[in-house]
Every structure is written in C-alpha cells, then in structure tokens.
Structure 1
Amino acid sequence: MAKDKGTRKKAAKAEKASKKAVAADDKAAAKAGSASGPYTAAELLELSDDALLEAVQRQTFRFFWEGAEPVSGMARDRTTRTVDTPSDLVTTGGTGFGVMAMIVAIERGWITRAEGLARLTRIIDIIEPTTCFHGAYSHFMHGETGRVWPFSRKDDGGDLVETAFLFQGLLCARQYFDADTPAEKRLRDRITGLWGEIEWNWYTQGRHTLYWHWSPNNGFVLDHDIHGWNECLVVYLMAVSAPRYPIDPAAYHRGFVQARDYGPPSTYYGIELPIGPDRGGPLFWAHYSFLGLDPRGLKDAYADYWQHNVAHTLINHRHCVINPHGHKGYGPDCWGLTASDDPAGYDAHMPSNDNGTISPTAALSSFPYAPGEAMAALRHFLRKHGDKVWGRFGFVDAFNEGKDWFAETYLSIDQGPIVVMIENHRTGLIWDLFMRIPEIQAGLKRLGFESPHLK
C-alpha cells in the first residue's frame, strides 16, 4: 500500500513536471509565432532542451536576417548589442554561413521559402557583376555596390578561403532550391555559373599547394600558402571538386597535409588527438569546414575526422575543467576557446593561447561532438550571466569573468556556426545537402575519402 502510494506520488510529480515543460514549450511556440520580439535569458531557462535549442537558433538567425546589410542582404562582419554598423561593409565568408542559416530558417518555418529565395537572389544580384579576382572574391565588400573593401593594405584582392566559405553556402542553396520553377532554376543556374568561374588552379602558382590571397595590385606578395591542420579542409575539397578550374589532388597530399602539425597522433589530458597542433588549436577548426562537410564516418589516409573533431572538442573542454592558469569562471559548465573578440581586441583563443576569454560559439557550435557538455554550457551561460551574454542576436561574441568584461558585439563567423551546427546536431540538414552535391561527391573520391554519403 505504501509502495503504491509512493508510486502514485512519483507519477503525479512526473506528470506535473511534464505539464510544466509542455506549457513552457507552448509559450515558446506562441512567442516564436508572434512579433513580440526576442527572448530574455530568463525566459529561455524555462524551456525544455529541444525548445531551448530552437529558440537559440532562431534568435541567432536574426543576425543574418534583420541585421543584414539592407541593400545586398549580405552579412555584416559584425554588429553590436544595440545598433547595427552604420557602414555597408559585408563579409563573403560570413555571408556563406548566413546562407546555410537561411536554409535552416526556411525548414523550421521562421521565414518562407519565397522570402529566402528573394534574399538569396538579392545577394547574387550584388556578387554576380562585382569585381572578382580570377573568379575569387575579396574578404570584405561594400554591400551597396559590391566594390572591394580592403581587408588590409596589401590584402585588397581575392581571398580564396572566404570564397570557399561563401560557396559552401551557395552550393547548399543550389541543392536546396530544387523546385522546377523559373525563379529557382534561375538561382541554380546563376550559382553554377559563378562556381564554374573560380580559378582554383590559378591560386596554386603552379605549385603543389593553394595560396590564400592574390591581388592585381600586389600579386601573391602575402605568400600565405594554405596548409593544415586548420579550418581549410573544405577549401581543398572545393578546389579539387571545381567543374572548370580544379587543382590536382597532389596539392592536397603534398601541400595541405604535409604541415608538421598534421600528425602523428598525440595525447593531451588523457585524450588522443589524431592530428593537429598542441591541444588541438581553436575550436573553429572543427566547425568552419564541417558546416557542410559531414565528419560522421569521414576518413582518408590521414585521419578519421569524426574521431578527430570529437577529441579536439573534449580536449578543449577538459582544458577548461582543469583550468591550469586558474582563470575565473572556468569549469565543466563554462568552457569553449576559439577565435573571437576579447578585452584586448581579437585573438585566436585555444589551450595554448588562453587568456581567460570564453567564446559561446565554441561550445554551442560543438553540439554534434559533445552534446551533453554543450547543453551544460548553454544553460550555465544563461543562468550565471543572463542578459550580460544574451541579447537581440543571441549570445554575444565572448566574455572574460576575470576582467569583468562582456562583449558588446556579434560576429558573423561566430553566429553562423551556432545556427548551422546545432541544426546538424538536430537533423543533419546542412550536412545532407552538401554531401549530396555531385561535384563534392566526385571531389571526395578524387582525394581518396570514405564517407557513408558516397555512392
């Protein structure tokens, strides 16, 4: 009898908790369908895990939708908690991330397919006629005209890495907008045309490696060859996959993977890392190339990339738990080191370059690799810091508790991966789109990759 009573009490308690969760999620759904504005941190903490992910994705997407440069619809490089940047500076790689976020938004009903198509068409209207550099685009542009906005004094021409990130997004859009209608067919044809004009082989200088920059004013003077391990795996994949000006696979095998830090495996904090530098480097290396490129079951002669990305993430987490430098706030629920703003400006934060700055994008974009640790960080950020770290476009770029510093900025290259990688964790949407692209499938085979996606 006592046992039955206890069982009934437990059942009643569970039912009450379930009803509370449902009510909170119903409230979230009502808010999501209304124009009442963004969530507060306190409202987010009331939600179930799945509803919380939806809300974080949606509010972060606002950066690319409401916060976009108004003429082009392209992504601003950065904006602030309260006002949009007054200039028309836009970023090509960040725009590519935003395109993938837009596909997520359509699938989840935050915007309509027609609205997404119209925005993408506007983006193509700007980049199609603008100056390119052997088919590649500059890092920054004027959104109103498409003219180059120099990144630095000598970096005033083509940026191959930013171009690859842009087309990682545009090729996903070409795959997604597959309807037999004049507008969608026109979009596909325009993306295919621009994709075919990138002279990837020009950017090798006739050698067995790709070079990051070329300028008509300065040539290859920056002399920045692209070799790993870093965020550029997808650059080589796209260069090998290109329909008109591909590179020889030898550039990958004799250039990218021949860097000293590509191997052999090393062990940090008891976790084996297959490739990469000391303790793995900044976490964006596990994100940017893998917004589209699905690491699940992805292997070549050098690494199992799922195993590597998981290990990289867990090493980053473990470093923050052990906290060898004694930074305030670090722990199992407060982790994530990557490139972001910090109290002194901007830096690539990582275990070997750790100044106490936590970047929310690092943990949140790692949901596919460490979902439990990422969810713990998400709830901790909201519970501990509330609206100091949360605002109109989601989580601010970074914070440093030891210096009582909280960023006032949002950066496109940090907001985009949050939306896309959480979606890949939830549904695999962007991974499935990118891995179905015929040219990408052919390129993976040319490089000797294995993947469950390959036919």
Structure 2
Amino acid sequence: MSGKKLTTDAELEMLQDVSFSYFLHETNPDNGLVLDKTEANWPASIAATGFALAAYPVAVERGFMSRAAAVERTLTTLRFFWNSPQGSELDATGYRGFYYHFLDMRTGRRAWQCELSTIDSAFLLAGALTAGMYFDANTADEHEIRTLADALYRRADWQWAQDGGGMVTHGWKPESGFIKYRWEGYDEALLLYILGLGSPTHPLPGNCYAAWTSTYRWEHCYGYDYLYAGPLFTHQLSHIWIDFRGIQDAFMRVNGIDYFENSRRATYVQQRYAMANPLKFAGYGGCCWGITASDGPGPDTIKVGGIERQFYGYLGRGVPYGPDDGTLAPWAVVASLPFAPEIVLPTLDYCIHQVKLTAFNPYGFKATFNPTHPVKSSNPYGWVSPWHYGLNQGPIVLMIENYRTGLLWRLMRDCPYITSGLKRADFGGGWL
C-alpha cells in the first residue's frame, strides 16, 4: 500500500482483500477450521471460524473468491461441525450444541483443556446463519448449506448454558462443570442473548435479557453519555451481524438512543481519551487510538523516560479506566468504521501511510503496536506484534463491508431467528 495515493474506496477494498486472505491461507481445507493466530503449533479458534463463514459471502461479492470455492469451503466447515463428536468426553469437539474455544487444527478435537465457550459458539453460529442466508441458490450444495446452518443453530441448548441462573454462563468444562462467571454488564454478549432468545428449540426465557440489561452501567466520559464497556471490540462484534440503527430495547428507549449511536459515542470516547492521554504514552492522539482486548509487548516492567512502565501480554485493555499500557490495535479502529468514518478514516490513513503497519505483512494489519515500549525495531513507531489473529481479521473484512454496502446487515435482517430474538428482547422501531 505505497506509491500513488489511492481513493478511500480502493484503499478499503485492498485492506479487505489482504485481510480476507488470512482465511484463504490459514484454514485447514479438510475441515474448514481457521487458525487462531499465526504462531507455530497454534490451534484453531471457533470464533475465527465463524468470522470466516461470514466473510466468504463478502469475498464472493468482492471477487476475492469464486462462489463455487466459497460454497465448497462453507460446506466443508458446516459438515465438520455437524458430524464432529458432541459429548462429555474430554476430547470431544463440542457438547449440547456448543463448541470448545480452541480446537486442534488437524483433528478438530478440543485443545489445551479449554472451555466450552458460549460466546465463541455464538460467533460460530452467527457465521453459519450468515452462510445460510447468503447461499440461497436452488442447488444441492447450497440447499445443504442452508439445512446444516439451521440444524447447527437449533442444536444449541441455551437453557442448559444458563445453569439454572438468570444469565448465561461463560462456558463449561467436562472436568469441573460450569464456569462461575456469567455474561453480565454490557459487552459482546448482546449477540449471544439475541441468538439464545431466538432459538426455536431451546430458547432462553424472556426474563433472561432483562436480568442482563439490569447489570448495565450508563456513564459520562469525555463529554459523552453512553452505555459503558471498556474494550472497543465489545462495542463492535454484535454489530457485525445486527443492524441496530433505529431499533431500541427498553434500556435504550429510556436513554433515547440506540446501540449503534452508543457505539459511535464509545468510538469518540476512545479518540478523546487518546487525545487527553492521561498516562502520557507515546504516539497517542487524534489519529492514533484504539484500545481493546489485544496482544501486547509484555509481561514486562521497564523504566521508560524516567517512568516505570508495566507492559502486558494478551489482555482486555479498555478506556477510560484501563488497563492501558500504550498498546493500540488498528483492527479495532477499522471495526468502528460504520459508526464514525469521519475519525476512523484519518486514523487508518495514519496507520497505513505514516506508521506503515500494513507494509510487508501478508494479511494487512498486525494485531497491535506500542510506540512507548522501547524495543529495538525496524519500525520507528516502536513494538509491533509479530502475529496476525483470525479474530482481528474477520471484523476488518466484515465491518468495512457493512460500511460500504451493509451486506451482513441486509442478510441478517431477513434471518427469522435474529428478528425473533430481537422481538423477544423487546426491541422495536426502525426496520423491525
């Protein structure tokens, strides 16, 4: 991405293309599983696989892959999940219609004694439903995609995942049972609750959603009143699939905005925080922001410019209360493009052309960079993550597409399970 300056549209298309190529090259063609990150001997991530399923339609529309190739890849993935072992064995692929967070890339079995993840299963199922909505041709293969996507969604036992409580648990392990944490406080679980409420087979009870929204925090930060969540990605991931413009639940009706406007405000809070830069990190400013759950240069404690700085590894960084160690995630900036293009596009321009964060990378943006960390680096802007993550690549491809054409929003507006879930969560107005 150098030489003569491209138009914004051409630049976005190029970023989509190079980001999508992660899914072309870091996927096992035998089972459709997508590598979590580009480190040696790393497992697959079911969330990244869900993003891939949602990205294949974008790739077809943009000419990044043929429809036939996308159908083949999608079918392989859905068949794998439908036929993979579901049970309480320690090395199954899933249980009760949910799946383990990490799976072995080759065998598709549970990796690292990880948890059966309700949120990552939600991303996987949302990707499957996207495929089912997009591949609508009257052919045997596309009919099978629709059938499998539907069957996978119907198999998830959301009531079981509640474990008798008001809110949904984070997950389950065969060794120890349910994880003690539940999805409470505003975050990416917005999608999870809507999918759970929309289920025709094992739906969450209606009071589950009200129990969740009762744990929300409405705050005033940097001049904005908004529903608080610290990491930027929590304001984005549910919006990949659901167009929240003009529709409101009871909480948003009281506060006079919708979740889309809330994400716009959260994006501005991120920029304002970087401009205020209360912790005096290097580089922060109006075109250099984006704090989220991400990779980092730590764990490390180093004196930098006379200040002792603590740097972290992978962590849920957030604004304005931290943790913040000077690490910025350009992918999370891109994923806010539909909400606030007027501040996102100049930031992308800065990250691409000044900091050159996409130069010489096979898949566009690396996960993160940290201008404060005193690493010996060929990049004058400090430490740059060595890795690409599937979880970052997906939102880049999908949110650029929503900004440009609204493709995913249009597809999912017609998905009966999404509309049913929204209505059971008491959403109304707008396109609903």
- Same fold (TM > 0.5): yes
TM-score (normalizing by structure 1): 0.84
More helix by share: 1
Give the drift of 1:388.
6.8
- Please say if 1:281 is aligned against 2:230: yes
Mapped to 1, the partners of 2:365 and 2:160 lie a distance apart of 39
User: What whole-Å deviation, never above 9, does each CA across 1:320-368 have from its counterpart, x for those lacking one?
Assistant: 1111111111111111111111111211222222211110012111101
SS in 2 for 1:373: helix
Aligned 8 A contact 2:125 2:152 in 1: no
Match of 2:290 in 1: 336
SS in 2 for 1:118: helix
Match of 1:148 in 2: 110
Match of 1:229 in 2: 186
Q: What 5-or-longer segments of structure 1 have no aligned partner?
A: 1-40, 80-84
Mapped to 1, the partners of 2:96 and 2:171 lie a distance apart of 11
- Please say if 1:442 is aligned against 2:420: yes
Give the drift of 1:170.
0.7
TM-score (normalizing by structure 2): 0.88
Match of 1:356 in 2: 326
Give the drift of 1:451.
4.5
| Equivalent in 300, 306, 325 of residue 260 of structure 2 | 306
SS in 2 for 1:124: helix
Aligned 8 A contact 1:397 1:410 in 2: yes
Mapped to 2, the partners of 1:209 and 1:146 lie a distance apart of 29
Match of 2:6 in 1: 47
Q: What 5-or-longer segments of structure 2 have no aligned partner?
A: 86-93, 253-257, 299-312, 374-381
Give the drift of 1:308.
0.8
| Equivalent in 56, 63, 70 of residue 102 of structure 1 | 56
Give the drift of 1:390.
5.7
Matched to 2:55, the amino acid is A
Aligned 8 A contact 1:69 1:90 in 2: no
Matched to 1:284, the amino acid is F
| Equivalent residue pairs, number | 395
Greater gyration radius: 1
Give the drift of 1:385.
1.8
Match of 1:248 in 2: 205
Match of 1:375 in 2: 345
Q: Quote the RMSD (CA, aligned, Å).
A: 1.5
- Please say if 1:185 is aligned against 2:143: yes
Aligned 8 A contact 1:126 1:145 in 2: no
Cα gap change, 1:451/1:435 in structure 2, threshold over 3 Å: closer, same or farther? farther
User: What whole-Å deviation, never above 9, does each CA across 1:114-157 have from its counterpart, x for those lacking one?
Assistant: 110000111123212223211111101123222111354xx3xx
User: What whole-Å deviation, never above 9, does each CA across 1:293-327 have from its counterpart, x for those lacking one?
Assistant: 11211211112212211111100111111111111
Match of 2:69 in 1: 115
Structure 2 matches for 1:22-421, cutoff 5 A? 41-43=1-3, 46-79=5-38, 85-87=39-41, 89-131=43-85, 132-150=94-112, 152=114, 155=115, 158-220=116-178, 222-254=179-211, 256-259=212-215, 262-263=216-217, 265-273=218-226, 275-276=227-228, 280-303=229-252, 304-344=258-298, 345-351=313-319, 352-353=321-322, 354-386=324-356, 391-403=361-373, 404-421=382-399
User: What whole-Å deviation, never above 9, does each CA across 1:178-233 have from its counterpart, x for those lacking one?
Assistant: 1111111011111111111111111112222111212232211x211111211111
- Aligned sequence identity (%): 33
Aligned 8 A contact 1:382 1:390 in 2: no
SS in 2 for 1:335: coil
SS in 2 for 1:296: coil
SS in 2 for 1:409: coil
Mapped to 2, the partners of 1:311 and 1:409 lie a distance apart of 30
Give the drift of 1:452.
2.6
Mapped to 2, the partners of 1:67 and 1:146 lie a distance apart of 15
